[in-house]
Amino acid sequence: MRPEGLRRPMVKRRHRGMERRIALERMTSLFRLAEEEALQRHADRARRYVELARRIGMRYNARVPAAFKRSFCKKCLAFLLPSVSARVRVGRGRVVVTCTACGAVQRYPYRREQTARRAARARRQ
């Protein structure tokens, strides 16, 4: 046994990796709840869940899970359900998502995918 004076004080050390993993789990379940509420047309409750999920992510330096990255409005945090709370249009090499709550527009390019597919088709012929 070590002498009393040399023993390190009881300090709870933070385990960042573990914190982040738990944060991710919590975020995922909150986003699932948000989706359920959005499906039942409870937009405000869904928004609240999105808000909580993002707050957890910011506190523990964890990213929004890829599956939910595009599922909420970056401006008003509404959960975006196509045809319910979002309008989705495709064209000119991009996907345009409009939030029906606040009118914010998000655009996602898919030019790269298009050219890749075209190149693959050309190679086959």
Shortest reach from residue 89's CB to Zn ion, in Å: 16
**Residue type for position 55:** R
Instruction: Show contacts with Zn ion in window 60-99 (CB under 5 A).
Output: 73, 75-76, 78, 99
Q: Among 58, 102, 105, 119, which residue sits at the site for Zn ion (rule: CB under 5 A)?
A: 102
Contact 99, 75 (CB under 8 A): yes
Q: Fill in the per-residue mask, 23 to 62: x = in contact with Zn ion (CB under 5 A), - = not in contact.
A: ----------------------------------------
Size of the site for Zn ion (CB under 5 A): 8
Kindly state the smallest distance separating residue 45's Cβ from Zn ion, in Å. Answer: 16
Cβ 37 to Zn ion, closest distance in Å?
16
The secondary element (H helix, E strand) that includes residue 36 is helix 16-39
Rounded Cα distance between 56 and 20, Å, is 9
User: Taking the complex as a whole, how short is the minimal distance between the CB of residue 117 and Zn ion, in angstroms?
Assistant: 31
Q: How far apart are CA 15 and CA 23, in angstroms?
A: 12
Chain centre distance of CA 74 = 10
Q: What angle do CA 84, 42, 27 make, to 5 degrees?
A: 95
* Binding site residues, Zn ion, CB under 5 A: 73, 75-76, 78, 99, 101-102, 104
